[in-house]
Every structure is written in structure tokens, then in C-alpha cells.
Amino acid sequence: MALWRSGVNERAWRLCSLRTSPWARQFYDQKRTAGKSHNAALRALGNCWLEILWHCLQHGLLYDETTHAANRNRALEPLPKAA
């Protein structure tokens, strides 16, 4: 029973992030556009959140949406071409 509750809470948490976090919505929409099912896109989003949580725990940081969005945008920028 605890496993079922855990799964329900985790799914609700991922769905909530779609409504409140612009980058999470963009990530989810990109996965759906790429042909992933709703559940597969939610699992991918959950994995992304786990990476963020792990990074915060490893470095003793609090999550900051603005910092994460800036880092994500910087990571997604194309690399400049070598001259």
C-alpha cells in the first residue's frame, strides 16, 4: 500500500511542476513532441527532477527556479563554431 501511495504522490508532484514551472512544461512538451507517451514524458520529467535534487543535495544548495532556468538555457545554447 505504501508503494502505491508513493507512486501517486510522485505523479502528483510531477504534474504540479507542469503547472508551476515553465522549464518543466517545456521539457514535457518537447518529450511529447518527440513522440513519447504522457507517462514516458512524466517519467523523464521525474528523472530530471531527481538529477536536480541530487545536485542540490551534493552541493548543499537550495533549489532556485531562476538559477536553474538560467543554467538550463545556457546548457541548451548551441556551441559557437570554431573559426
Does residue 80 fall inside a structural domain? Answer: no
* Local structure of residue 77 (DSSP, 8 states): S
pLDDT confidence of residue 77: 81
Number of domains in the chain: 1
- Is 42 within a domain? yes
Q: Within a domain: residue 79?
A: no
C-alpha cell recorded at residue 19: 503547472
| Residue range 47-65: mean pLDDT, rounded | 92
Domain assignment of residue 33, yes or no = yes
More confident: 45 or 4: 45
What's residue 28's pLDDT?
A: 94
Give the domain range for residue 66: 2-74
Q: pTM to 2 decimals?
A: 0.74
Q: Burial letters for 5-44: b for 16+ Cβ neighbours within 10 Å, e otherwise? A: eeeeeeeeebeebbeebebbeebbeebeeeeeeeeebbbb
Q: Is the residue at 83 inside a domain?
A: no
In a domain, 34, yes or no: yes
Grid cell 520529467 — which residue? 45
- For residue 24, pLDDT over 80 is answered with yes
